[in-house]
Amino acid sequence: MRHRMRNRIFAIAGLWLGLVAAHAQDACPALTRVGFSDLGYTSFREAGEIRGISVDVTRELARRTGCRFEFIWFPRQRLFVELEAGRIDMTLAALRTPERDAYASFLPYAYLQYDLILTEPPGQRYTSLTDFVARGSGRLNVTRGMTYDPAVEAQLVLLAAAGRLEVVSDFDTVFGKLEMGRADGTLATPPIYARHLKTRRFKFAPSVIPMPESNARFTGIYLSKKTVSAGARARYASAIRSMVADEVVPTLYARYFDDATVKRIFRQGAAPLLSALAVQD
């Protein structure tokens, strides 16, 4: 009898310790370091403060999880170097790539799609990037480190061969050159170009051309596998799923865009995002 009772006590104690360990594993990290860089309304610096859609998403994530975050600013080309090295724990507004998947976990929460932005003199009208490459003579500036659809990449190869493509460090440089007339166009998403088109003065009114070569793709969070535990990543994934299911992310975007733009960005709805997030379970 005593032997059975002792075994039962040990079993209960073991179960309790297991629950404590599971809870600890799912607990928030002491601090999650989040990297940001220049991405228009997605993330920008104003009066010494980091602001933008990604900041709003992070703050909602903090509210739902109770976790603490630190915001750190980097040049865009350094952001994923820092994440891979484990010097930061999270980035947002990121496209998924096999290279990043090797060292971080991806949690999608929204969509992005590139448009062609041109500041050429009025009179010439283009229907696509392919049309611009074939009939135009202007030069595009694009930002180093961006990833595009294969159909877009194929046209950029043609532009580079024709001496009509330049790769620069960040979007601030890109739009500065467009403003000064030292480039004729770029590729950017609505959160990026909307802020630059609003805050800069161009010689010719920029035109925004939706590109059939570019498809809507997921954008989301990357969490370091090196510095963020599996339990903490699961905690963040659960919060992101709830944010998508509650459709709170479009309301965050609506702080920066009109209804038509928000509807265009989220025209595919929440279902594809939730299906992708379900794989995280």
**Mean pLDDT within 68-88:** 94
3-class state of residue 49 by DSSP: strand
Is residue 237 within 8 Å of 107, Cβ to Cβ? yes
Identical fold, 26-112+217-278 and 115-210? yes
Give me the chain's average pLDDT, please.
89
CA 276 – CA 281 distance, rounded (Å) = 10
- Residue 204 is predicted with a pLDDT of 85
- Residue 26 is predicted with a pLDDT of 64
Cα separations in angstroms, 22 against 12, 26, 43, 62: 15, 6, 35, 21
- Residue 280 is predicted with a pLDDT of 62
The model's pLDDT over 153-206, given as tens digits with 9 standing for 90+, comes to 999 999 999 999 999 988 889 999 999 999 999 999 999 999 999 989 998 889
The DSSP element (H or E) to which 92 belongs, if any, is strand 90-94
- Residue 27 is predicted with a pLDDT of 85
Domain boundaries, the chain: 26-112+217-278, 115-210
In the predicted structure, residue 266 carries a pLDDT above the cut 80 = yes
In the predicted structure, residue 25 carries a pLDDT above the cut 80 = no
Q: Rounded to 5 degrees, what angle do the CA atoms 179, 181, 184 make?
A: 95
6: confidence class by pLDDT, cuts 50, 70, 90: very low
The distance in angstroms from the start CA to the end CA of the chain is: 43
The pTM is what? 0.84
- CATH 3.90.1010.20 at 26-112+217-278, yes or no: no
The model's pLDDT over 97-141, given as tens digits with 9 standing for 90+, comes to 999 999 999 999 999 999 999 998 776 789 999 999 999 999 999
How much of the chain, in percent, has pLDDT values that exceed 90?
80
* Strands ordered across the beta sheet of 104-112: 69-73, 32-36, 90-94, 217-224, 104-112
75: confidence class by pLDDT, cuts 50, 70, 90: confident
In the predicted structure, residue 5 carries a pLDDT above the cut 80 = no
The model's pLDDT over 37-63, given as tens digits with 9 standing for 90+, comes to 989 999 999 999 999 999 999 999 999
- Residue 212 is predicted with a pLDDT of 95
In the predicted structure, residue 15 carries a pLDDT above the cut 60 = no
Level-2 CATH architecture, domain 115-210: 3-Layer(aba) Sandwich (3.40)
In the predicted structure, residue 83 carries a pLDDT above the cut 90 = yes
Q: Give the pair of three-digit tokens for residue 207.
A: 């035109």
- Residue 279 is predicted with a pLDDT of 74
- Residue 18 is predicted with a pLDDT of 39
